Every structure is written in C-alpha cells, then in structure tokens.
Structure 1
Amino acid sequence: MKPTPPKESFFDVALLFTILISIALVIIESVPPINSQHRSLLRILEWVITIIFSIEYILRILKVKKHKYSIEYLLGHCHHDHCWLWRDISPQTPLGQFLASAVMIVGYAIIAVPTGIVTAEMMKPTKSSNTQVCPHCLHDKHESDAVFCKKCGGKLN
C-alpha cells in the first residue's frame, strides 16, 4: 500500500473532525436547557455541516467521473462472495474470507441481540399493582384485582 498524499490525509482528518463536530452537536442538542437557549445557533451549525457533507459528496462524485469510474466504484460494489469498498481491502484466502464473515456476524450480533432483548422487555405487559396492604401479614404488593393476599391468603380490605 502506498502512503496517502498530504492533501488527502489533511482532507481525511478534516472530514473526521467535521463528523465529530456533527456528533457533538447532536449530543448538545439533546440537552433541553442548552437546546432551548441556543436553538437558532445549533440549527445554523447543522445546516453548515450538512452543506459541507454535501460538497464533499459532490467532490467525490466529480473525482470518480474524472477517473472514468462509475458511482458504483465510489459507493462500493459486491459480488456473490466478497465486496470491495472505496479505499478498502478484502480478504483473498478462504480462511481470511471465513474469518471476515465471522467477525461481521459477531458485529451484527453485538447490535442485534441487545436490541432484541430491550425490545422484548419493552413489549412485556406491565403488571398493575395497587397499594392494598394485607391486614394480617402487612404484605403490600398485590395485583389490582386481588381479593386475597398472595402471601398469607387473608382477605384484603
């Protein structure tokens, strides 16, 4: 692999810096007091960053057209057994392809499994409880339609 020219390296660093600023703006905007106090400034900064990203995208398209490649080259293209992405590498050996696939699946699982667990918990029906206290054993966690104490069996009020 040949070294990245200084202009491209500067561009990459500037792009990463802009991405970090964009993320920071989203985080800052999620804090209600800051958002309400600086809403117009945050909106202007979001538009500036959106315009910067749009210009960057257009420049990449122009660069691709200049080199007589298709947009597919810029965005990446896949064949049935492997993908090549812009400025990316792909494993050449069967073992490397297998390991890359395994790592990709683990990566998806890291995202999908916790998401599934959280979603399942959110979909569980909530048990409604009331404030009735059993006069016999003083147990206080009863269902809203309970007539008898689930701990001692005594009649509730």
Structure 2
Amino acid sequence: MTLQDLRRKIYEIIFEADTFWGKFFDIVLFYTIILSVIVVMLNSVQSLHELYGFWFLLIEWCITILFTIEYSMRIWVINRPVKYIFSFYGIIDFLSILPTFLSLIFISSHYLMVIRMLRLLRVFRVLKLVRYVGASDSLWLAAKNSRLKIIVFLEVVVIIVVIIGAMMYLIEGPEHGFDSIPKSVYWAIVTITTVGYGDIAPQTIAGQSLASLLMITGFAMIAVPTGIITAEISRAEKRKNTQICSYCQYSDHDDDASHCKKCGNKL
C-alpha cells in the first residue's frame, strides 16, 4: 500500500460514514466525546475531584492524546488543510485539545475547564456523518434550506414583542413595574415564549387581556417554525448523502453523485 492509498483509506474512515470502519470510527468518536464531557463535569465537583482527581487527569490526557492524533490525521489526509483548520469544525477540534496542554503552563485550569465543554459541539460532526443517526442531517438541511423563512418569521416575532411591549408600557406604566419600554419588551418576550418568570405582571384589565392574547399567540407561534422545517425535511431526505468532497468539504450531494456539486472534483 502506497502512502497515497493510506491517506485515502484514512480519509474514508474519518470523513465518510458509508463504510463499516467509517461508522465504527464515528461511534467510537461519539462515545469518546461524551466520556470527555462527563469527566470534565465530574471533575468540577470538589468531593469527586479529591477522591478521583488522579484518574480524571489520566482519562483527560488519554482522551486529549486521541483527539490530537485524530486532529493531526484530519490535517494530513485532507487536500486543503488550511481551509479545514480555520473552518468551524477545525476550530472546535483544535479547542478540544488546547486546554489540556495549556494546563501544563497555567496551573489553575478552572477557566480552561469551561473551554473543554466545547468538545460537546463535536457531537454535531458525528451526528451529521453517521448514517444510523442520519435524521440529524435531514434536520440540518431542512433548517438550512428554510432559514430565510425562519428569519422572516423571527422578524415578525420581534416586531410583535416590541409593539406589545410599548403598548404595555402605556397601559400599565411604572406604577405596575413597566417602568421602561425595554423592560416591557422583556416582559413581552418572556410571555410570548410561555416562560412567565412572574417578576412583573399586568394589573389592569386591559393589560391582562393583552397578556392573554400574547400567551395564546405564543402557543400558535410554536407551530410556524415547526411547519416550515417539517415541509423541508422530505426534500432534505432526497438529498441525504454522507460523502464529503476532499477538496472543498462540500457535503450536500445527491445519493448517486460521483462528482462534487460545488467544485466538480471526483468524490
């Protein structure tokens, strides 16, 4: 086996999930990520840190070494390593190994522990590539394809809460806790999302009526983005493909595609 063949084989395992070893790699990566996050969380508990601090540190270093090898392999096998390094997942991959090495320099790694939690973002890479959880890919494509509709919907929501907030400021006024328009808009956001903290509440009949209308509107608004995304899921299913172009990293290919839809190189 030549060096080029080895690179291609490793590339198929790391970046594609159609093969047995590709699926196996993604499954191992998934559980390793989960384990690393659990270790970070448990290590933040003082009583557990005092009892099992050594073992937590040992597991942390083992996982970091594995992630470092994986990160190096990704850079080695890809045709455009610079593009990967500065991509979203490339930065996340780098941040997943950086804190442990920095802890050698900075003895107090309390804040570095929080950065380690970013490893959880790597789960999205696995969920996107593993065929047996391919529904996440469909959901992502559906959200991506309907993003303009969702943006318009969110703009409408913002307009509604601003108008309602301004109306509540006029109706209730400072004597009932609505002492500014921004605070009234905050109340409108809390109400329309059905959170209802209860820190401020309308006291007048007009204000309570408007609040009731806003609550009902909030329930109705849940169905809007759900319907938009659901309508796109069926279309996304038709385009579901786990092949990633080794040149431009484009992944939205048809099932029968042999060449990249974006750059034209062979998959």
TM-score normalised by the chain length of structure 1: 0.46
Larger Rg: 1
Structure showing greater relative contact order (alpha-carbon pairs closer than 8 Å, 6 or more residues apart): 2
Higher helix share goes to which structure?
2
TM-score normalised by the chain length of structure 2: 0.29
